[in-house]
Amino acid sequence: MVRAQRRRIRASGVRWWPALGAVPIGVRIAGLLLRTTLSSRSAPRPGPGAVVVLGWGFEGDAVPRVLAGRLDRAAAIYRAGSAAGQPPLLVLSGGAAPNGGRTEAAAMAAYLSGLGMPALDLVLEDRSTATQENLRYSAALLADRAVAPPVVVVTSDFHVWRTAALARRLGLEVQVVGVATAASLRIPAVLRELRLLLGQHGWSTAAGCVALTAALLCRPQRAPTRRTQ
């Protein structure tokens, strides 16, 4: 029976083995979704020396909901550290100024000041325009101030995996914690992160895509059968 099934599979012209190369894609998607779900539940390490808040693009003067969630989480970590006698430094990282207005870092500082965060504990990193720059420039500011670890990086849940991967690539020892994102915003954000992750880990994923395409396209043409009279 097994041999008969194998003959039927061969006769159907399906080349299933190249599809195995698409496994890395599925693994990355599953991993991203799992980490997105769990990251907002992770607790930061106690007593961080600094909390780095990653910026989020915005228009106008209002802080968008995604960025407000990150700042609220950072403020909660600050209050916990302050209550324990170890208030962390708050590094606000974001330099993209929409329409020539104030930078993301400046907008974040104004928001946290409204929550009662002391100005002396706010450090603005206002040059970065991408996640890797957020991490690199913030690390340089902390090194200049000789801030002791641990260092916590606050971002959105969908952004945790890529941020942690970039931190490892830069040799930074940080804990990345995520903030829960509304479902209406999470889905397009996860798709964007997946696209960026595929670019960041392009070779293995590209191979999977090619193999999947080959599995779908490389079906041999079967010669038409002739009926015998």
**pLDDT of res. 13:** 47
Q: Which domain holds residue 89?
A: 33-185
**pLDDT of the residue at 211:** 43
Output the pLDDT for position 51. Answer: 98
| Residue 130 belongs to some domain of the structure | yes
Strand blocks (E) in 115-174: 122-125, 151-156
pLDDT at residue number 98: 65
The per-residue pLDDT for 47 is 84
In a domain, 84, yes or no: yes
For the chain, the domain total comes to 1
Give the C-alpha separation, 80 to 74, whole Å.
10
Averaged in consecutive runs of 10 residues, what is the pLDDT profile of the chain (229 residues)?
50 46 50 48 77 88 90 97 95 85 93 97 96 97 93 92 90 92 68 62 46 42 46
Residue 190 in domain: no
Q: Which residues of 190-210 are buried (b: 16+ CB within 10 A; e: fewer)?
A: beebbeebbeeeeeebeebee
Residue 127 lies in a domain: yes
Residue 191 lies in a domain: no
In a domain, 4, yes or no: no
Does residue 7 sit within a domain?
no
Residue 175: per-residue pLDDT:
93
Residue 21 is assigned to a structural domain of this protein? no
Q: CA 30 → CA 57, 200, 201, 209, 211, distances in Å? A: 27, 17, 15, 16, 19
Specify the pLDDT at position 196: 64
pTM beyond 0.95: no
- CATH label of the domain that carries residue 80: 3.40.50.620
